[in-house]
Structure 1
Amino acid sequence: MTDASTDLAALLCSRLCHDLLSPVGAFSNGLELLATETDPDMRQNCIELLEQSATISTNKLKFFRLAFGAAGGFGDRVPVEEPKALIESLVRDKGRIEIRWALATANLSKPTVKVLLNFAQIAVDSLVRGGTLDVGAELRDGASEIVIRATGPKIAFDETIGRAIEGSLHEGELSSRTAAAYMINLLAEDAGGGLQYALHDDALVLGAVLPEPEGLIG
């Protein structure tokens, strides 16, 4: 493994740990409260906190398994119901975001799923005041095409992430914040495809075209 690959793996691990710290910490706090609390109503509140934290932690681990990991348990292609459910859980944890789907295929390759999930994470993070998330994917002329559009009253988007998406990061800009975008740019290059984005005052549009390996189109 090269130094660059090691650095990328370490940064992705840092991102995962950062995102899991809050729900796991809340779970730990809930256990401590439950161990000392005697009031029935307060104990019920603790149990609800534990259930919520456990659900969020589980959803995040499932998301990262497909977005960053090898996604063991699946073949070469993943049913679209899997990333769809993960994106829905991601939005549910954030709130105030409506999803509109346009998925015109039954399954996608693992690299395409990684791009789709990471695009969704970037788009959801940009909707700091809520809004609408349009998610589209289809197979056309031997390639997967993905478009995700985040529309809302305020779009928060760090353009270093945009440079990571396009493969034009400046020296020193690879960090835990940009690692996921950098990773999917590498995946797209390896597949012979490409990624792009467009930023407007009220919208962020993320697009990808990834040629499918011959014989694996479902």
Structure 2
Amino acid sequence: MPGSLECWGAFAKAPNQAKFRTMMDGDSTPETNPEIPALPRTAEVAAFLAARMCHDFISPASAIVSGLDLLDDPSAQDMKEDAMNLIAGSARKLTDLLSFTRVAFGASASAETFDPRELNKLTLGVFNHMRAQLDWQVEANAVNKPAARLLMNLAQMGGAALPTGGTATIRAVAEGASIAIAVEAVGPRARLRPEVLRGLAGEPLGDGLHGHWVQAYYVHLFTKDAGGRIFADVGDERVTFAATVPA
């Protein structure tokens, strides 16, 4: 891989070619307009994030309960092996999601720097339950908390942009006082929901699903707070994110 991220350079030099672009090096809050919904308050953002996490966790948790119910059902003893497989697979998924979420959304104890190899392991755990494949190409030896959150959230968003499969390639390099990050999701029917684009731009939800919007808006908030920038582009069977944050 080259010393600098080619896709980052393409975004920075040719912004008019991108179908969507937001540079968070200043106040990107939309102008006041009575027809535009107000940005959510901190408590509302926290509620949306909590709802998003509960949505992710409820499916494997419910599957575990269903497996236990089968084990307790005297008329379903011939399905004991299926029940155990359901419980084991769902428990792994729930554990993978919880471990990922703790770093991607949480404070992750007092850690301020992260080993990209550990982030790769956590992200791969989530991709094991997606149709998309993960290609992790991160050259940095260690990354700070904003860069770690960017890597993980953009990777998950890249995987989600490939509903029928494909490959999400994650790249990051240290460039002087900054860390440049690029996520390229390539596959058939690659797409990015409008609410995700609105969230990355720091805009209120409007129409769409809170769960998709709030992750993107969260990325916008912590990237802006860190003094970073983020770009996104939607092309033919390709979705690309590029970001930079201070090292």
Partner deviation per Cα, 1:48-72 (whole Å, 9 max, x = no partner): 1100010000000111111110011
Segments of structure 1 that go 5 or more residues without pairing to the other structure are 213-218
Tell me which residue corresponds to 1:110.
Answer: 145
In the alignment, which residue of structure 1 is the partner of 2:170? 135
Q: CA RMSD in A?
A: 1.9
Instruction: Tell me if structure 1 keeps the 8 A contact 2:191–2:237.
Output: no
- The answer (yes or no) to whether the contact 2:194–2:208 under 8 Å persists in 1 is no
Q: Deviations over 1:152-174 (max 9, x none)?
A: 01113112211211224466779
Q: Indicate conservation of the 8 Å contact 2:114/2:148, yes or no.
A: yes
C-alpha deviations, 1:181-212, integer Å up to 9, x for none? 11111111111111110000210001110012
Partner of 2:124: 88
Normalising to structure 2: TM-score of the pair? 0.79
Structure 1 runs of 4+ with >3 Å offset: 37-41, 168-174
**Alpha-carbon distance change, 137 to 59 in structure 1, aligned in 2, over 3 angstroms:** same
- Give runs of aligned pairs for residues 1-218 of structure 1, distance below 5 A: 4-37=41-74, 41-72=78-109, 75-95=111-131, 97-169=132-204, 175-212=210-247
> Does structure 1 conserve the Cα–Cα contact (< 8 Å) formed by 2:173 and 2:180?
yes
Does structure 1 retain, via aligned residues, the 8 Å contact 2:191–2:238?
no
Higher relative contact order (CA 8 A, sep 6+): 2
Query: Normalising by structure 1, what TM-score?
Result: 0.89
Identity of counterpart residues, as a percentage? 28
| Residue number in structure 1 paired with 2:12 | none
- Report SS of the residue matched to 1:93: coil
For these two proteins, the number of residue pairs brought into alignment is 208
Q: Which runs of 5+ in 2 are unaligned?
A: 1-39
